[in-house]
Structure 1
Amino acid sequence: MLSFLKRYNFYLILILTLISKCSFAQTIFVNPPANSNSNLLPSQLVKEILLEGGECSGISNFQLKDNTSAPFPNPTRSWGYFERGNSDFPFEKGIVLTSGFAIDAIGPSEQETLSKGNRTWLGDADAEALAGVITYNSTVFEFDFVPQGNTISFNYIFASEEYPEWACSQYNDVFGFIISGPGIVNDPGLSGKNIALLPNGNPVTINNVNDQECGDDTYYVGGDFQDIGYDGRTTPLTAFAEVIPGQTYHIRLLVSDSGDERYDSAVFLEAGSFNLGLNIVDEQGIDVGENKYICGVDSYTLYIDSDNPSLQLQWYKDGNSIPGANSNLLTVSESGFYSINAISETCSQEDGVTVLFDAFEINAGEDFSLCSGEAWINLEYDILGEMTFQWQLNGEIITEATSDSLLISQHGTYVVTAYSSLGCIGTDSVMVSEGNGFVISNIEVGVDYIMIRASGGEEPYQYSIDGSTWQSDNYFYDLPSGDYTAYARSADGCIASKSFSVFNIPTLFTPNGDGINDTWRIKGVENYPNSQISIFDRHGRNVYESHLNSNEIWNGFFKNGKKAPTQDYWYILKIANDRTYSGTITVKSRSEKGM
């Protein structure tokens, strides 16, 4: 009876947790009961979601490593199906692998600390080779596949509860995509080659991607989040590998806790992004995309990215088969929609492209009024090889303007001409008239948001922080630290702008002398010399203050030279442009994680 009551209470708490999480309309959903994809086995998820059918993939020999205490269909299993819902998460749907409970990926991130699993849930040898330390709580999807093209790729996002406090520490939770097979050279210590890499070739890890002193914040997005439960994540990234079509390869998709079993991490894999070929490409093997503009020549050759001799090929123009067009290349001389149908022993695949001869156009946008500040003119166009641009204002060449966007502060007629290395030329113009009475009156910078207030002109207003993408909501959330320009646009087309800055203020540092996260730093403060910091202990005593000329705010010592003991402190940060931030900073001298 007691065992029954314990189990009943566990599932009651779980149900209440799910109801609480799912009540947030702006979050993703994980294994939603009403969606049949939530009931798919792992191998089915890979074929039906990651490959969206994957008829030509030859998926086989699927193996799963996960939490043996919560196997499928346990609602607390470590993997599952997710969908965006009404949130702003970059991927519409896909698969999530975690080192905790998959349902904990549901937002918002400030609800609880995600730290599930214990040391009976083991790690993984590849994960330990990547992390350099012992690992726990590994979830691994691995399987064989047969690519149809010369390359494979898929899109992913890494997220973790280790962010931001445990970045730059030994708790470097790890994930990897390990591929092996013909032509693949294994990385040292791994069962294959890790293709979870940044564009610069470095592996994607917590210590490589963060906004602390040890990492690169180019690919980092910090919380709090409404859409996911983790405190930090990467931008969408792409894994890529060159392969031999028709050969069998093996891949391991894995995520693990490193150093201990606490603070969970996850990898989100975008649905349909596991591309095994077949694609129409150019002579260099680059995907031609949906539209291909051809200028200055009479003909152009299309290729497919496969050398598989077992494929039966047929090219089409505007839906009609082209007699005799059965090879892996096609030379065309007329505009139209060209497609390829590739048939193997068990399935068929198609790809297509619209080819346009001498039809290059650019779009500089509609005419508008400039009321105050500055505004951007941004071109819309298809990239055609190497592009160069020339801008004119009222017939005079703007010599310093050579890019595809122009920041303006003067009224007049702007003309832009785009030149392509393929011989294409496009021209457009925008008239910017003088407006008045419409201004940005204030920009409120909060902890995780900024709010733009505008006045004058004709309502309703629209707002932007890049001068290109506009929205009716005057709130913007979770902006990375940096300098920005806010834009507002009235209904009668008048644009106003105003500059502001966002600081991502860390909430913890560890001045224990280990050389990792020993000082409290706030990126961007160095741009506002003579800013001032004041630190207070829990009794309200002023224990430290300084004028700032770098991004180092505090080294963890009081103004009397004594080391600050482990506890929370209040701070008041006065920025030189009359903005004030206040909050708490945790000083933690111990190197171990708390329970």
Structure 2
Amino acid sequence: MTRSKFFQLLLCFFSLININLIKAQNISVDTSLNAQQLVDKFIGAQNASCITVSNVSISGWNFGGNDTSYGYFSRNGSSFEIDEGIILSTGKAKDAEGPNSTLQSNFDSNWPAGDPDLVYILSQAGLPTDNILNATYLEFDFVSLQSDKISFDYMFLSEEYRDSNCRYSDAFAFLIKEASSTDPYQNIALVPGTNTPVTSLSINGATNCPRNVDYFGGFNGLVSPTNFNGQTKVLKANATVKKGVTYHIKLVIADHGDANGLYDSAVFLKSGSFTGNINIGNDLTIDNADPLCENVPYRIQPNPIINDPSAKYTWFKNGVAITSIPPSQSYYDVVNEEGDFSVEVTLGSGCRLEGYVKIEKVPVANINTTPIQVCDNDFDGKYSAVLSDFNSQIITNFSRDFKVSYYTTSGALIDPDKEFVFTSNPQTINVSVGAFSCTPKIYPVQFYYGTQLTVNSIPVYPICDDELNGSEDVNLADYVALITNETGVTPTYFATETQAKIGGSSTISSLQTISTDKSFFIRIEKAGFCPNYKEVKFNFKKPNQSTTLPNDPITICKGATTILDAGMGFTSYDWYNEAAPTVSISNLDKITVGVGNYFVILTSPNGCSFKQSVIVEEAIEPVIDNVLIEGTTVTVLVSGGTAPYQYALDGGSYQSSNIFTNVDLGNHTVFVQDANGCSIITKDFSLINIQNIITPNHDGINDVINYSSLLTKLEPRFEIYDRNGILVFKGDVNNQFVWAGTLNGRILPTATYWYIIEWNESGNPQRTKLTGWILLKNRN
């Protein structure tokens, strides 16, 4: 054999081993058993003498061959919690075999829908009854011969277990009633200790809807013995029956809520777990208010005692057999133990009975014997306290289960909910602590007078209304360090001394607004010390304000100075320029300054200071925006500077009006001065001189029409037409708007001509228009 063939064979060998190991990690399901065989597995041969079974039937669905919705399962070497039993499914029972790698959502439209008994039970529990599909059930009659209680173990597994599912759950019930009775069924598939039916919603560990998580087994990953997404823990169904009476039981499961029977579920019933129960005592639990007292022995044993000398007993604690007890011993004595105790009794006939009891120990008090401080908390000269306030301090694990009483050393009972006045320092009080009906224990606890926190003598604090707004804010927290030298204190603030002495909830905010003399009270507390309090008084005062400094800015001419006079009556003056607010420029009542932003700190005789600001600004020169000319009327438009303005024309007298009338034709100058009188501004303008006659004879008189002043205007127009409307002259910058009575250099004949003159004045939206006639006299 070659080396490569050897390794190929070796690889195949290990692959086969691996396949078998994987299979062994999953449950196996056998769907070939009939109803009677399944019930026999469920009851167990050993219980045949305890419980008789008859009238067995099973209903579900056959998907072909033996591929049914029910069957027998075994652990098959996996970690599944039940070793063997029967499975009732809403889909294919065989698909329950692990791993959890596929979604079970089997559905057949021919499968009879629902089960009326299940629908009734759901409706009685207030659960929805819509879409009850794919029902599988096992039912039979039984008679309990040895016990008036029966029980069996089961688990519920479902594909409905998804962390995001808080709405849907498949339904199942274990229904039982007397076979001859017409009464409705009783459902015994309940969450332990409740009347709530078991569903994937009533027992769930989902993040969004956790419920009864103590009974939730967990969500299953891909590596799982079964092909379901999640499961409960092993639960126990219990029923009370009459010995010798025939009962009918129906174990039923169905799809619920999903359309087309999606997301299958199954109930796994433990083989041989359908047994009679015996009474071995009531649960001794805290919830029952009857836990086992400390150091008190308690015997667990069947009641009534089983009269069978051949009976064998196996005792368990928390599911683990107690091997130290011989099989013949019918009881178990517990002292200071707790847990879930059970016994399996095998009678001489082979019949197996079970009994269960839960025992919890009474809580034992943890006592703190450290001396306890008491204080004169309300400052009435008495050291007193409500003793029940110390329950949690004395009993470090205190709960409502403990009963606490207080006694003087002479044995007098103290009301724990009323003020108790201590008469000596220290003083011992006896504390009685017990739980439930157990005998209490007495513990001496010493109480002593605590040391009061120290406070300082403090003056009245002046509060100045610095902004002159009629009130001032104070933060009482800023005064805690002034009233005491203690560190780490917790302050509370009160409006009255009475409230400060009592303390409690009648506190005020540390932030307060005052507008008159006012007192507040600060109470201080600190662990290990007794509280104290102190009154804090505030004297509300107002500073004075200068009445000579203006509120409005002061305007001075460019390069000039002015005197700022704060007036008399202040104890100090500190002047500053805002440009250097930390550098004092004078401490006099008056200062001479130029342009700038200034402030002065004025201190009044009552010690309060006020910051008053003054602005000195440079006068802004006015600007002549426009000179509007309409005929011989001239309007001067001015902005800037300080109104009112004064106006003058050609060096004449000033007037308050900005309108000049009957202004002569020709060139002019307007003068403007603002209210500050700092400077005078001017602007030149001209009025057009209208000419109506031209005699171009070169005698120096009226030889031309001269409108060259139009060159200073905006968009000027000067045109001359003859009587027939023919343009004979058009003025422009080339001819300087001057006409010599010619057309194309040829002298025109004597006649009357017509002119048009237009222009725009700056800032005047209306265009100036002049029209009229011109008489041309020529020697020709």
User: What is the TM-score normalised by the length of structure 2?
Assistant: 0.35
Larger radius of gyration: 2
Highest RCO, 1 vs 2 (Cα 8 Å, sep ≥ 6): 1
User: What is the TM-score normalised by the length of structure 1?
Assistant: 0.45
